[in-house]
Structure 1
Amino acid sequence: MGPHFFFSKAARRSQVGFSLVELMISLVIGLIVLGALVALFVNNSSTRRELDRSADVLENGNYALNLLRDELSLAGFYGTLATVSGSTDAPCSTSLADWNGSMGLFVRGSNQTDTPDPFSSCTTNRKSNTDAVLVQRAATCTTGGTSSDCETLTVGRVYLQVSECGDEYSTTPSVLAAYAATSPFTLRAKNCTTAAPIRSYVRRIFYINTSNQLMQVDIGNGAVGTPQLIADGIENMQIEYGIDTTGDGSPDCFIYNSGVSTDSIACSATVWPPATQNTAPPNPNWQNQGPNIVGARLHLLGIATQATSGYVNDKTYAMADWVLTTAPGDAYKRRVFTTYINFVNPQGRRQ
């Protein structure tokens, strides 16, 4: 036996590899592992998409709720303790005379089904069976202030100045006027020497459009502004208004935009007569009781902006006078957001 025998035997041993069966088994195992990884990735991606959609509903709903709460809580804010009057019911009016006559009516609501619709001339693509609300107030900062959202006096814009000087206040408590070259704002501060603060005047309407978006439009002096998008994914808005019938600053009963509330503390038909609910502006219900509103229950229905595959919405919803008794049956997730808002400035003037 020579050395070549051992060499050839070792060479044959070193060339032994996988058999065809072993190779196929390894490929199958690899495919199983790859399939499991792909399934895990797909499931994670689907879960992430659903989380994002749920988060969008929460984010849009909470943002809209907080913004409306901030705006409504400022209803009737005029910078200082001001005695205001007037309940001219003209929510879309761009006339300064109507503005002066409506300072006591610091909120004005409407349901889209109201006939006639008092907001039809100043809202675009308003969705059916949704509420709209007008808020009147002064800006939270004075003209010439240091905050970035404060403005300088601009010719043609409407501003409010409230006197803080006792003797002057008894005769001329406030001036609501458009700024001009000769300033109409001559009222005085507490020392009766320096000028009283001047604030921009805000008349702002919030409503839902047919694309399920919360919109805002400002009513300007002589013209209605361009509607601005506030939040996507808001399918419905309903508001109940608390009316103070005893003058103590607390709500004694509630009404819907479409009429008398049916809850446990509903206003009587004497306070809010159903027969005149849909009277065209000037509406006697809002003229008589609008200045007595001291708070509101706000309801929003948020909706996902994208459908969820395999999901069927079988829920029903009830918000104030809007009741969806038939489940949508679609693939869109929804969520109801509700809060109560005190109108602190009108309340303060009553307490």
Structure 2
Amino acid sequence: MSHARQQAGMSLIELMIAVAIGLALLAGLSSLYVSTSKARTEFNKTSEQVENGRFALQSITRDIEMAGFYGRTSPTLATSGYALSDPCAAAPASMGFSTTPTLTVPLPVYGPALAATVPSCLATTLPNMRAGAEVLTVSYASGSVTATPSGTEYYLQRSGCETDSVSLVYSNTASAFTLHNKAAVAGGTCSTSTSAELRKYVERSYYVATCDVCSGTGADTTPTLKMAEFVNGAIQVSSLVTGIEDVHYSYGIDVDNNGSPDCYVDNPSDTSAVPPACATAVAAASYAWTASATANWANVTAVRVNLLSRNLDNTASWTDTRTYDLGRAAVNGPYGDHYKRHVYGTVARVWNTGGVRENQ
């Protein structure tokens, strides 16, 4: 009898208590799993947004730092040696290249959307540009030397010999590149056997569009940083980074010619009056701010870049009530939607303008 009692199974009450404890543990584990999954999802969204913001900033900064490089023999030009060019043009003269009566090249950095006369091609060449978006155009020669012209790309050739008839050739025709370097001999004499190096011309315009894929199947409304690049004699537009909602540029102007920016302004093209931020520096250096927009742009030695990056996917439990300061008089936001955002900023030096002045 005693043995039979010892072999008895669980009672119904004990079984129900065990099931209840098990269900409670299962509910806790399920809640933990859901919470962890949500946290990981938000982490992935934020990581992607951080990566996009930093990559966009890095891409723009790299091009600003290359701007104004027109070959290893690039001269130190006066501001009159730069042209306020059309960033959508393909003809050399319209792009800012000329050797008559004096050498001129395109401005290293330029905000065409801020000019008094905005190039008409922007409306068609930069499709789906966000209303009010700023455009930054950079120009330079590639850091890599080209052995043989492609016949379609445009190249720069800078003379290294004083006996050449011109100091620069800009063309896409192989036969046009007839300039020379000095021979690697004692005294360095010019020789027809030492052709000057060729470098591909690079011109890129950055702007924010209202979409990544803007037409056809898969069209979206994702704000995107796009790049319009001069390739094979025409402007080609490509998406660079998705989730970039806005970019603001402030331009550091060197008014005393020492290479360092003396003040930052939003629009060097505005020559109607001296900007308050530059009033003291301009007066001290007797700088003629109102005389020439081209000269103001040519004296840009740094660019302050602030951009607003947004998560690509929304968060239902989040409402964006924040404001974001990109350096303008008015802040961005609050947006009141369910996307998380962050501002990224840096200062990029225009080394081929400011660096040369520092060494004079």
- Fold in common (TM above 0.5): yes
Task: Say which SS state the counterpart of residue 79 (structure 1) adopts.
Answer: coil
Aligned partner letter, 2:144: C
In structure 2, how many angstroms separate the alpha carbons of the residues matched to 1:253 and 1:55?
35
Task: Give the alignment partner of residue 89 of structure 1, picking from 81, 85, 102.
Answer: 85
1:19-168 to structure 2, matched below 5 A, reads 19-83=11-75, 85-99=81-95, 100-101=97-98, 103-111=105-113, 116=118, 119-144=122-147, 152-165=148-161, 167-168=162-163
Shift of 1:187: 1.4
Q: Does residue 219 of structure 2 align to residue 216 of structure 1?
A: no
Unaligned runs of 5+ in 2: 99-103, 184-189, 212-222
- Distance apart, 1:82 and its partner CA: 1.4
Question: Are residues 1:178 and 2:190 paired?
Answer: no
Q: 2:298 aligns with which of 272, 291, 294?
A: 291
The residue that corresponds to 1:230 in the other structure is 240
- Does the CA contact (< 8 Å) of 2:320 and 2:339 recur in 1? yes
More displaced, 89-98 or 284-293? 284-293
Cα distance, 1:157 vs structure 2 = 1.9
Report what 1:148 is aligned to.
none
Percent sequence identity is 31
Q: Distance in 1 between matches of 2:250 and 2:4?
A: 92
**Residues 187-228 of structure 1, C-alpha deviation per residue, up to 9 Å, x if partnerless?**
122323311110000111111101311111112464222x11
Q: SS state of the match for residue 125, structure 1?
A: coil
Amino acid at match of 2:47: A
- Classify 1:309/1:31 alpha carbon distance in 2 versus 1 (closer, same or farther; 3 Å): same
What is the CA deviation profile of residues 241-263 of structure 1, one whole-angstrom value per residue up to 9, with x for unaligned ones? 11222222222222214858977
Query: What do residues 284-325 of structure 1 show as CA deviations (whole Å, max 9, x unaligned)?
Result: 854232222111111111111111121121211221326236
**Closer, same or farther: CA 114–59 of 1 in aligned 2, 3 Å:** farther
Q: Is the 8 Å Cα contact of residues 319 and 337 (structure 2) preserved in structure 1?
A: yes
2:237 matches 1:247: no
Contact 1:208–1:234 (8 Å) recurs in 2: yes
Letter in 2 for 1:95: A
Structure 1-normalised TM-score?
A: 0.82
Matches of 2:238 and 2:170 in 1, distance apart?
Answer: 25
Rounded to whole Å, the distance in 2 between the matches of 1:218 and 1:197 is 23
1:240/1:256 contact within 8 Å kept: yes
Q: Tell me how large the CA RMSD over aligned residues is.
A: 2.7
- Count residues with an aligned counterpart: 321
Contact kept in structure 2, 1:238 and 1:322, CA below 8 Å: no
Match of 1:204 in 2: 204
State the 1:48 CA deviation: 0.5
- Match of residue 5 from structure 1: none
Cα deviation for residue 120 of structure 1 reads 2.2
Structure 1 residue 42 displacement after superposition: 0.4
State the shift of 1:64 in Å.
0.7
CA contact 1:158–1:176 (8 Å) conserved in 2: yes
Q: Separation in 1 of the partners of 2:125 and 2:238?
A: 12
- Is the alpha carbon distance of 1:126 and 1:103 closer, same or farther for their aligned partners in structure 2, counting shifts above 3 Å? same
CA positional deviation for 1:27: 0.8
Cα distance in 1, alignment partners of residues 328 and 144 from structure 2: 36
Could you report, residue by residue, the CA deviation over 1:265-302 in whole angstroms, capped at 9, with x for unpaired residues? Answer: 468698555xxxxxxxxxx8542322221111111111
Contact 2:306 2:344 in 1 (8 A): yes
Moved more, 238-247 or 75-84: 75-84
State the distance in 2 between where 1:261 and 1:209 align: 32
Partner of 1:277: none
Partners of 1:110 and 1:88 lie apart in 2 by 9
Cα 1:299–1:48 shift into 2, 3 Å: same
Structure 1: which amino acid aligns with 2:225? Answer: L
Larger Rg: 1
Superposed displacement of residue 59, structure 1: 0.5
The more displaced of 10-19 and 78-87 is 10-19
